[in-house]
Structure 1
Amino acid sequence: MCVSVTFIAIVDGAITTVALPSIARHFQLTTAALDGVVVVYPVCLAMTIPASAWLAERFGAKRVLLTALTVFLGASLLCGAAGDLTELVAFRAAQGLSAGVLFPASAAMLFATFDSTDQVRISRYMIIPQQIAPAAAPILGGLLVDHLSWRWVFYVNLPVGLPAVLFGVLFLARHDGHRPGRFDLIGLLLSAAALGSLMFGICEGPNRGWSSAAVLTALVLGAVLLAAAVAFELRTADALLKLRLFTDRLFRDTNLINLVGLVPILGAMYLGPLFLQQAQGRSALDSGTSTFPEAFGVLLTVQLVGRIYARVGPRVIVGCGLAAVSGVLLLFATCDEHTGLWTFRVYMFLLGIAMGGVFMPTTVASLASVARRDLAQASTLNTVVRQTGGALAPAVVTTVLVLGTPAAAVADPPVTSYQHAYLALAAIAAVTSAFAFTVPDGPARIAASGGTARSSRPAGLRREPEKAA
């Protein structure tokens, strides 16, 4: 269930970009005019994340998860049937609003169902959609647009999502809600407005320019609202976002690694297709097949990481993984217009091997010292951090490309600009690697080896957990 939810949400966020030229032709618009179709999704997603933990606690994780997935699928159907740009943007907003609840609700249910020892094993399954989805989205999107129509990049969610809803109704046990306290409306308004404004500014900064009035206004307003939200939440007994969880060093440090470490990793995934198609003039198919080997590298490493996690600990694994990411990015920085596709594919495979030592250990370690009653809140905060890091990655890449390119050539940066971008990402990965080696991972190792147990593990599935995973 959680694998399907994660796969659908990630693919939907990535596949739409492929269809933009076809959508523009259909509505007789320029591709630039469709910017709202792309930006509205992460903005709305960020706005509903803060409320997800309260909803899961109040109404039960199963009910919230299935309701959000049903709304998401309905919005996907409406996106595919949209008659004009206004309808498409509105229905994309509905997709984003429901996706903001999907991510943390599914994660909270997963980690509440399995204890710390099983979480390492389960995370090896969860890494599959997280890596396959962004790699497969461009290829799948291209095939759907070329052989069917742009509408199918939205309709494709239904064949995967509807069986997941049916499975959830039949096999997911009830997670009864309880009274989590009064609903923190002021906290929701402040945090949603702050995250939405910041996400808009980060996403639009590279396109409109960081000095443009709209971007500056969004970033300044978002920063002010975020400061107000933090101050208010820390003084509120029934806070919507339990920011006090960040006083736990392991939770705080792993989230910081997720925030900064995602920039070089996702930045490289964003930069690769741009380099192949713009700097080398390759086709979209060549680009998709050349970036896909990264997923195989991740899946290979995760199997090893899952076996050594308890013995070695996340500190060494994540630190070495990020150091390897930095090294591979230095290899990418040597690529030029004459670099062959198979050389690039080998580098992508090596990048995936390095990335496999980062994602799963940080996610499991971040929740190792969190009490069971706070899992929903912790999952919500994790999602906020990951979404912010995911938005920062393309913003950093695009900014470096523009800074290293003459004004007359911004639309077609030279190869050296791409090389400089890879070097910048390598430096960020190296700094994050050094920080990762300072993380105190004792609680994570103890929890993974079964040395501690959270109170009363509820059954998450009606069937035996390993078979249902």
Structure 2
Amino acid sequence: MTYRYRLAAVFLMGFFVDCINIFMPAIALPTIAAEFRVGVSAVAWVANAYMLGLTLAIPVSTWLAGRWGARRLMAGSMLAFALAVWACGLAGTFGQLVGWRFVQGMAGGLMIPVGQAAAFNLFQGPERARISTLVMAVALIAPALSPWLGGLIVDHGSWRWIFHSNIPLALAAAALAWGWVRDTPSERPPRPDLKGLALISIALASLLTGMSLYGAGQDMTLAWLCLAAGVASAFAYVLHYRRSTHAIVELKLLGSPRLRLSVAIYHAIPGVFTGVNLLNIFYLQDVLGMSARATGMLMIVYACGAFVAMMAGGRLYNRAGMRPLFLASMALHSLGVAALAGVTAATDTWLLAAAYGLMGLGGGMGANTAQTTALLDFDGRQTHQASVIWNINRQMAFSVGAAFFLMIFNSLATHLDASRAYHLTFVIASLTGLLPALQLGFFNTGKHRHAGHSH
């Protein structure tokens, strides 16, 4: 195996561990909520804390890699990850679980962007589609297997083993990083922009907290204050960025139309799906009485659809271009989300399978095309900077999608019965997922057809 594929293998293993820890705990959230006696909005912080940790760590990962070396950073982050999942499984209170999930997210956030940027720099031009396909293959295997395995663990054991089962994988990733990754000489990056990092973290934490409080109907004044603080912090970062020479997130890279569009697509497809899937888990288990294992098996259907779409999208990307692939992915995904509104009983298995199959087709094609498109305009140091933006956006899409649609559902549930509130939320989500189609009108299909650089 050549060095670039060894490096890609280390990154992909770390990425696999990251994906597992997004999807596997989700299947246990109803059980965790019941054990710790917290509501749906509160238990969502098991996921939100992980995403916040990732968001905090991702921007400083490149700086730390420059000081410590990629080898030490990637191996050390996976060791810290193993410690955090062990502690999550031992948590005695909901606060402890959320706190260790935050630490777990920080450990994962140090590994992913460094590994991705290093791997993508070794695969240039049209070869980016090849490594992107490998990334998306991992992104399919994890959600296909982890919810089903998580459902078995919840139904026949303890939800705590959902976290403990990650320890061998994290230790294996640490060992491979130590044995395979080289520390190549590079210019040491400047000291990280801690003020900018604080502003971004405050903005995301405030927005998620505000949406959670608003959706749960708890202290509306505090909810609006949190939302206002989030918007103000985001605006403050923009002002800070204009005065800074080494801002933590290089906003000028969003001048790339392909990166901007890919960011929007990730919110519209994986982001929307995260929120919809979380709500559907509670709907199927709490309202319709479906088992955790049966709920988790739906992700296998999703993954099969995504695999077919990913294979087709990988072959069609350089021929057809991103525009038709993005349009098809949004249409398929939104149709699948809308189909969930017709599920009224646990016996509606064919409709559930069709919904998850369609969402898988749209999700696989959309995420794979976005992953390929996002970093096409960059190389060298800019790839690292764009990777920071891309990975922060990826985590934000998951967190914001879950928080936003929980807010919509909880607001509707104050006026409607639970089933109707779930169904109407799914309809709203299906329409939301089509919004990036408006951006596609600005792309000339001939100009943006191929995967070459546009410097």
User: Quick check: TM above 0.5?
Assistant: yes
**Change in CA separation of 1:425 and 1:112 when aligned onto 2, cut-off 3 Å:** same
Equivalent position to 1:423, from 417, 423, 427:
427
Instruction: Give per-residue Cα distances to partners, 1:272-314, cap 9 Å, x unaligned.
Output: 3233234433222222223430111001111111111111111
Residue 283 of structure 2 is matched in structure 1 by 275
Paired residue type of 2:430:
A
Q: 1:42 aligns with which of 46, 51, 63?
A: 51
Match of 1:382 in 2: 390
Deviation (angstroms), 1:359:
0.3
Change (3 A) 1:418 1:182: closer
* Alpha-carbon shift at residue 216 of structure 1 (Å): 2.5
Aligned to 2:190: 181
Say which SS state the counterpart of residue 292 (structure 1) adopts.
Answer: helix
Maintained 8 Å contact 1:131/1:298:
yes
Unaligned 5+ runs, structure 2: 1-9
Q: Deviations over 1:359-397 (max 9, x none)?
A: 011111111112321111111111222222212222333
Structure 2 counterpart of 1:160, from 165, 169, 174: 169
> Residues of 1 paired with 2:114 and 2:100: CA distance?
21
CA deviation string 1:122-160 (max 9, x = no partner): 222211332332343333223234444333222211121
SS at match of 2:433: helix
Matched, 1:356 2:360: no
C-alpha spacing 1:7/1:443, structure 2 compared with 1 (3 Å): farther
Q: Describe the shift of the 1:100–1:336 C-alpha distance in structure 2 as closer, same or farther (beyond 3 A).
A: same
Structure 2 vs 1, CA of residues 292 and 212 (structure 1 numbering), >3 Å: closer, same or farther? Answer: farther
SS, match of residue 281 in structure 1: coil
Shift of 1:58: 4.5
Other structure's SS at 2:365 match: coil
1:77 aligns with 2:86: yes
Q: 1:177 offset after TM fit, Å? A: 4.1
Trace 1:155-304 onto structure 2 (pairs within 5 A).
155-209=164-218, 212-304=220-312
Distance in 2, Cα, partners of 1:405 & 1:170: 53
SS at match of 2:248: coil
User: Helix, strand or coil for the counterpart of 2:342?
Assistant: coil
Letter of the structure 1 residue corresponding to residue 133 of structure 2: R
Native 8 Å contact 1:43 1:200 kept in 2: no
Does the CA contact (< 8 Å) of 1:196 and 1:222 recur in 2? yes
1:293-372 aligned at under 5 Å gives the runs 293-337=301-345, 340-372=348-380
| C-alpha separation in 1, matches of 2:299 and 2:426 | 15
The 5 A counterparts of 1:433-448 are 433-439=437-443, 445-446=449-450, 448=451
Alpha-carbon distance in structure 2 between the residues aligned to 1:214 and 1:39: 19
Determine the C-alpha separation between the residues in 1 that align with 2:193 and 2:382.
Answer: 16
Amino acid at match of 1:314: M
Matched, 1:134 2:140: no
Report deviation, 1:234. Answer: 2.4
1:465 is aligned to none
For 1:111, give the aligned amino acid. Answer: F
Unaligned runs of 5+ in 1: 455-469
Q: Which residue of 2 aligns with 1:101?
A: 110
Which deviates the most, 223-232 or 173-182? 173-182
TM-score, normalised to structure 1, is: 0.84
Displacement of 1:356 in angstroms is 1.9
CA contact (8 A) 2:262 2:374 kept: yes
SS in 1 for 2:238: helix
- Counterparts of 1:442-461 in structure 2, within 5 Å, are 445-446=449-450, 448=451
Root-mean-square deviation over aligned CA pairs? 2.9
Instruction: State the alpha-carbon separation in 2 of the partners of residues 267 and 37 from structure 1.
Output: 14
Instruction: Give, in whole Å, the separation in 2 of the partners of 1:242 and 1:332.
Output: 39
Q: 1:437 to 1:66 in 2, by over 3 A?
A: farther
SS at match of 1:333: helix
Identity of aligned residues (%): 27
Moved more, 367-376 or 11-20: 11-20
Instruction: Report deviation, 1:351.
Output: 2.0
Per the alignment, residue 5 of structure 2 pairs with none
How far 1:119 moved relative to its partner?
1.7
Name the amino acid aligned to 1:302.
Answer: M
Q: Distance in 2 between matches of 1:132 and 1:29?
A: 30
Deviations 1:92-122 (A, max 9, x none): 2311222222332232222122113222112
Q: Which is worse superposed, 419-428 or 131-140?
A: 131-140
Q: What is the letter of the counterpart of residue 364 of structure 1?
A: T
Please report how far the alpha carbon of residue 208 of structure 1 lies from its aligned counterpart in structure 2 after TM superposition: 4.9
Give the length in aligned residue pairs. 444
1:400 paired with 2:404, answer no
Distance (Å, rounded) in 2 between the aligned partners of 1:453 and 1:401: 42
Q: Normalising by the residue count of structure 2, what TM-score does the alignment of the two structures yield?
A: 0.87
1:86 CA drift (Å) = 5.4
Quote how far apart the aligned CAs of 1:85 are: 5.2
1:432 aligns with 2:428: no
